[in-house]
Amino acid sequence: MGAKDGPAVEYNWVWAAPVLSGFRSEANDGSATDNNGFPPGGLPWVPWLVIFGLLALKPNRRPAAWLIWLPLGCATAFTLVLPSIPPSGSDFLQEAIVALAFGLAAVWLLSNYLRRSRRRLTFLCFLLALAGFSELSAMARQNFSLATDESSEISLLLALAVPASAVALSLAGRICRGRYRPAGLYLWLLVWLAATWLVIAAPFFLSAAAVSSNSVPWSDFFIPVLAVAAGNFAVLLPFLILSWANPFYRERLKTLLHIQSEALRPLSAPVMAANLKT
Please tell me the predicted confidence (pLDDT) of residue 57.
Answer: 93
Cβ atoms of 180 and 250 closer than 8 Å: yes
Amino acid at 221: F
Contact 135, 102 (CB under 8 A): no
Radius of gyration of the chain (CA): 26
- For residue 238, the tally of other CB atoms under 10 A from its CB is 19
Give backbone dihedrals phi and psi of 8, rounded to 5 degrees, phi first. -70, 140
Contact 96, 158 (CB under 8 A): yes
Distance CA 188, CA 149 (A): 35
Q: Grade residue 156 by pLDDT with cuts at 50, 70 and 90.
A: confident
Is 0.85 surpassed by the pTM of this model? no
Q: In what order do the strands lie in the sheet with 19-21?
A: 19-21, 24-26, 32-34
**pLDDT (tens digit, 9 = 90+) per residue, 2-46?**
566 677 777 666 544 334 333 344 444 444 444 433 334 557 788
